[in-house]
Amino acid sequence: MASIAHHLSPLLLFTILLHTSINGSPTKPPTTPCPSFDCGNGLIISYPFWLKGKQNNDEYCGYPGFDLLCTDQQPLIRLSNHLYRLKNINYSENTLTATYLELNNGACPIAPHDVRLNLNISYFLNYTIEDKMVHFFYNCTLYPPSLSSIACLQHGLKRSYVFMEGAIPEFDWQRFCDSTVSAVVVEKGGDGGVLGGGFGRVLQDGFKLGWRSPDSDCRACEATGGFCGYRYSDGLHRNFICICSDGRRSDNCHDNGVVEQTVVEASASLFYA
């Protein structure tokens, strides 16, 4: 008995010393499993966004559908079938601001297509209460004569119009106009706005989307200071993984202790009820 105890104690002591030297080491630089990046235009992009092609192909850190592309030093995000320019991200509010990619810089741009969210992929992304839906009717050959049209979009006898959601005058717009586009904008009021001829600036300013954690596994992971990641098992099906700040994969990261639940809940209240 005595001889076993005699042999054990140096081993125990060694284990304790090894343990403290790993945990107590102040020289180890902090690493993050989900590195920030920028596309060259100065906008720092962090989790839950991620750069497609920069991470391991079978596994990524960030939300599904939050993969970005860098093109001409601009971060682009895909919503439904179109790419949009990511103008700004507010990590404390959990919102992003995006604009059409195809807009020319003039005062008289044309909204190229409807703004749609792909709720299949990004069902945890949504419009915010600041967004307003507006409807453009382009190149109408017949129109109610009393309405004012968009002056800079007159082509001969053809007229174009823009109306706010819920305020579209009764008329068969679909029939008499060449195209109709539903866009989402943040209408701040003042200097013209969409209806007062300021629709060009309003389109350039873009629209705002809020996000929340994709699922309850992810919420639980983030609540313990972890980052949500996903791993493709067979190229098709993705499985959730929780990545702790030390790179460990675990169901939760309680050791890191940072509770972020309040952020998640605050952002949910931005959505329309």
Which residues contact ligand NAG (rule: CB under 6 A)? 80, 90, 92-93, 110, 118, 120, 123, 126-127, 138-139, 155, 158, 178-179, 271-272
Q: In angstroms, give the least distance from the CB of 83 to ligand NAG.
A: 15
User: What is the sign of the dihedral through the CA atoms of 239, 245, 246 and 252?
Assistant: negative
Assess contact for 107 and 129: CB atoms under 8 A: no
Q: The sheet that has 82-90: what strands, in order across it?
A: 50-51, 67-71, 74-79, 82-90, 95-100, 207-211, 125-127
CA atoms 202, 101, 83, 90: torsion sign: negative
Closest contact distance (angstroms) between CB of 172 and ligand NAG is 18
Pick the closer one to ligand NAG by CB: 66 or 243: 66
Measured from the CB atom, the residue of 118 and 149 that comes closer to ligand NAG is 118
Cβ proximity to ligand NAG: between 181 and 220 the closer is 181
CB 213 to ligand NAG: min, Å: 12
Whether 99 and 75 have beta carbons less than 8 Å apart is answered as no
Report the residue number, 215 or 246, with the smaller CB distance to ligand NAG: 215
Q: Which is nearer to ligand NAG, 110 or 242 (CB)?
A: 110
Instruction: Write down the least CB distance from residue 87 to ligand NAG, Å.
Output: 11
CB of 8 to ligand NAG, least distance (A): 57
